[in-house]
Amino acid sequence: MNPQDVVFAESKNNVAYVGFANLPNQVHRKSVKKGFEFTLMVVGESGLGKSTLIDSLFLTDLYDDKSIPPAKGRIGQTVHIESNTVEIEEKGVRLRLTVVDTPGFADAVDNTYSWEPIVDYIDHQFESYLRDESGLNRRNIMDTRVHCCLYFINPHGHGLRPVDVEFMKALHTKVNIVPVIAKSDSLTKTEISRLKRKVLDEIADHEIKIYSFPECDSEDDEEFLAINKDLKASLPFAVIGSNTVIEVKGRKVRARWYPWGYAEVENPDHCDFIKLRNMLVRTHMQDLKDVTQDVHYENYRAQRLLDQTGKANTKNSKKTTGSYDQVVDISEKDKMLQEKEAELRRMQEMLAKMQQEIHQQKKASNV
């Protein structure tokens, strides 16, 4: 029996069946075929285990030859950006993971404005995406925008340092910031709880906007509701990273070995590593991308359009000849962008309406 016969048979059995209930499956197949992209930025001073944690999170060897610079070389060190991309495949699903590292951050004696190269990098990715989106070939745009920034907090800093506060205030409107307490195995459980409360209090006092988990509704399943609640309560995540595999009670685990015992990376009783990985990969990766697209990128794009309009008006007022064509050209581009936005909104409304009809149809069938 071919697919057409199946659809015909279903239509005979159920007069109300049209077929658009299969749309999610079509989107799923198309997404799996295309693959997924995710860009993760890691920021923090040297020696906090950033590279080890990333290798542990994604079971990769992006930083197999990483070394910590000596103290003398870090005195006048400046921040530079390093980007590494790796293709990961799991059960037929391909992920193009880009990890953006920021060696040199907070390592110098004077860290004033050390976050500016990071801000410039994020803005450059927004600008590149805006340029590609406004071009003729929009089908194969490579998304290099930063979807999440893991900010590593020193476990022995007794809270946030001034450079931590200034960094997060400079970037919280441009990227999803997820704070993590590094090397939490150096603290007791009581110390970790106390440090978490202090960090969250200071974040609130300085009005810093970190990544906010989406609000759940009644339609979400109970398991996701419980996971979401647990993740919210765990911020900032206290993490451990290790590339060392040891054998414990007949099973091999990633752990940090000490004379007095060991700390398992993937043991929820030892740290929040599992919660962080679940949040980044299994439960909230798409939401991180959606917030980047709908909030941070849209804010940047709107500001760029305002800047272009302001420049066009300034040039038009100063020049009486020779500038008309240029202003018209800019306004035409703005008009095209607005038309594309309107078309996209119409498509989103149609999809939302179709999803609502599917939901109502399922309710009716259950009744």
pLDDT, one tens digit per residue, over 190-213 is 999 999 999 999 999 999 999 998
Query: What global pTM score does this model have?
Result: 0.74
CA dihedral for 111, 171, 61, 230, sign (positive or negative) = positive
- What pLDDT tens digit does each residue of the chain (367 aa) get? 554 554 444 445 555 666 767 777 776 676 677 778 999 999 988 888 888 888 888 877 765 555 555 544 444 455 788 888 888 888 888 888 899 998 878 776 667 778 899 999 999 999 999 998 887 777 778 899 999 999 999 998 889 999 999 999 999 999 999 999 999 988 999 999 999 999 999 999 999 999 998 887 767 678 888 888 899 999 999 998 888 888 888 888 888 878 877 888 888 888 999 999 999 988 899 999 999 999 999 999 999 888 877 766 666 655 544 544 554 455 566 677 777 777 777 777 777 777 777 667 666 655 5
Distance CA 318, CA 315 (A): 5
What does the DSSP assignment read for 243-279? Answer: --EEEETTEEEEEEEETTEEEETT-TTT-SHHHHHII
Q: Cβ distance 358 to 21 under 8 Å?
A: yes
Residue-level pLDDT at 5 = 52
CA–CA separation, 310 vs 306, rounded Å?
6
The H or E element spanning position 12 is helix 3-13
| 17 assigned to some structural domain | no
Residue 324 counted as domain residue:
no
| Rounded Cα distance, 125 and 131, in Å | 10
Q: Distance between CA atoms of 172 and 235, rounded to whole angstroms? A: 16
Q: How many angstroms separate the CA atoms of 8 and 259, rounded?
A: 70
Burial class (CB in 10 A: 0-12, 13-18, 19+), 185: buried
* CATH code: domain of residue 140: 3.40.50.300
* Spatial CB neighbours of 157, under 8 Å, sequence gap ≥ 6: 164
In this prediction, residue 327 carries a pLDDT of 46
Does residue 229 sit within a domain?
yes
By C-alpha distance, which of 98, 93, 97 is closest to 31? 93
* Number of structural domains found in the chain: 1
Q: Is residue 320 one of the residues assigned to a domain?
A: no
Residue 218 confidence (pLDDT): 66
Residue 148 lies in a domain: yes
Q: And the tokens for 129?
A: 């995406």
Q: What is the pLDDT of residue 354?
A: 73
Assigned domain for 12 exists: no
Find out whether 276 and 236 touch, Cβ atoms under 8 Å.
Answer: no
- Tell me whether residue 361 is in a domain: no
- 34 closest CA partner among 76, 92, 73, 79: 92
Domain containing residue 259: 28-62+73-304
Residue 135 lies in a domain: yes
Beta bridge partners of 153: 181
Give Dmax over CA atoms of the chain in angstroms: 83
According to the model, what pLDDT value does residue 362 have? 61
Nearest to 182 by CA among 255, 127, 112, 238: 238
Token code pair at residue 234 = 């765990």
**Phi/psi of residue 65, each to 5°?**
-115, 25
